[in-house]
Structure 1
């Protein structure tokens, strides 16, 4: 079976017996070519919950497409029978797997009595990111471990992108993050780092601003949440 089919099977998005690997590869190559016309890179493709459509995971989030790739849908699709936002439901396993694979590249603020782990795409220049960070003890005291992932809002090559590389490459990346969130300058430090990969990952989730909170379920919450409100949501999942 090809690499794409194996990836999708691991996500639970397709049944490996539903089609031959060669047929899937041929069909999906056509989809990839069609999406390139609108500057979208296809990361994965699977049958959608709606008959006649595919769900296409791209470098800019999830889209739904006709089988030949001629038409695609940008926007939310609801399952009224089950009262479910399909975009969110289909993205969750994709987000979970990608975030789990990036655990070692995060900057972690661990709760002493850990009950939950959230991943937060952050930018030190973002006001609400700074507000969230100023309350990091509140999250930890509530049993919430916070793992930061990089999302420089100015994009690759921006001043913040360079700053975030310095943070991740510092000998003490947590101290560097604290300083950056306080508005202090960060001493230059360069190394092999995950900033670019994490930024591109966030874009593939459909993230376009910070903070963006990834719940353990894979649910994405855009924007700041105080510890008490976030804890209530975690408990309800």
Structure 2
């Protein structure tokens, strides 16, 4: 997103005093007529900036004036509060509710009693994921829901398929990530992997590993066993 260009565009909008009172249905109609790609507008709502409206298409955010004459793709900054309002809104829109994770599409890995819960999205070609998996060997009493998320390399999908289709997927995953042992080629229904990719796109999971704890805390990137333990404790205290 082009921050400074966005600010200049906003400054040129000439926003009217009655913008907030306008029925957004007319604004929606105007935008769709002028930009057919916006056919699936999910929501239009006023922003804290007088006369400026947020246009949401899925988890993509745009901004417009009350008449739909200008459309901005950029970041809205509250300079007084020193907050990136676009970033705050994106965090809200892409928050993952742990209770609603599609666990049927995950591989279940149990450490010890497995009383605590966490989920992780990982690519078998991810070096940081391998480091994370090594660290996870030092974390006890946790159930990990592993979502195979093949996004990094051309053969990530093939490796993910072979792990998912293995007789014991959790063992095949450990063999690959901890012992550099590739799983045997095997075929089965891999629609779960496609659903994982769709889920990740919806919630803007753009890197691996992405870790989600039972209190909905979301951490992008590999963290140490100590940090995992700290977050598991925090999740229990929620």
TM-score calculated relative to the size of structure 1 = 0.66
Question: What is the CA distance between 1:64 and its match in structure 2?
Answer: 4.0
Question: What is the CA distance between 1:106 and its match in structure 2?
Answer: 0.8
Q: Cα deviation per residue 1:88-131 (whole Å; 9 max; x = unaligned)? A: 5654465424872412111122341523x222110111111011
CA RMSD of aligned residues (A): 4.0
> Residues of 2 paired with 1:76 and 1:225: CA distance?
31
Partner of residue 163, structure 1: 159
Say whether residues 1:56 and 2:53 are aligned partners. no
Partner of residue 5, structure 1: none
2:207 pairs with one of 203, 206, 209: 209
Maintained 8 Å contact 2:164/2:190: no
- Does the residue aligned with 1:167 lie in a helix, a strand or coil? helix
Partner of residue 126, structure 1: 126
Partner of residue 182, structure 2: 185
2:221 pairs with one of 195, 207, 223: 223
Please, which moves more after superposition, 202-211 or 89-98? 89-98
- Does the residue aligned with 2:176 lie in a helix, a strand or coil? helix
Q: Cα deviation per residue 1:18-61 (whole Å; 9 max; x = unaligned)? A: xx9xx59x938956984848xxx968446366354336254xx5
- Does the residue aligned with 1:194 lie in a helix, a strand or coil? helix
> Residues of 2 paired with 1:186 and 1:32: CA distance?
52
Maintained 8 Å contact 1:165/1:193: no
Partner of residue 172, structure 1: 168
Query: Larger Rg: 1 or 2?
Result: 2
- Does the residue aligned with 2:191 lie in a helix, a strand or coil? coil
Question: What is the CA distance between 1:81 and its match in structure 2?
Answer: 4.5
Say whether residues 1:27 and 2:23 are aligned partners. no
Structure 1 segments of 4 or more deviating over 6 A? 82-85
Maintained 8 Å contact 1:109/1:146: yes
> Residues of 1 paired with 2:123 and 2:114: CA distance?
27
> Residues of 2 paired with 1:85 and 1:231: CA distance?
31
Q: Cα deviation per residue 1:59-85 (whole Å; 9 max; x = unaligned)? A: xx5424337495243457569659686
- Does the residue aligned with 1:195 lie in a helix, a strand or coil? helix
Maintained 8 Å contact 1:77/1:87: no
Maintained 8 Å contact 1:35/1:69: no
TM-score calculated relative to the size of structure 2 = 0.66
Which structure 2 segments of 5+ residues have no match? Answer: 1-22
Partner of residue 103, structure 1: 103
Which structure 1 segments of 5+ residues have no match? Answer: 1-19
Q: 1:93 to 1:154 in 2, by over 3 A?
A: closer
Maintained 8 Å contact 2:99/2:214: no
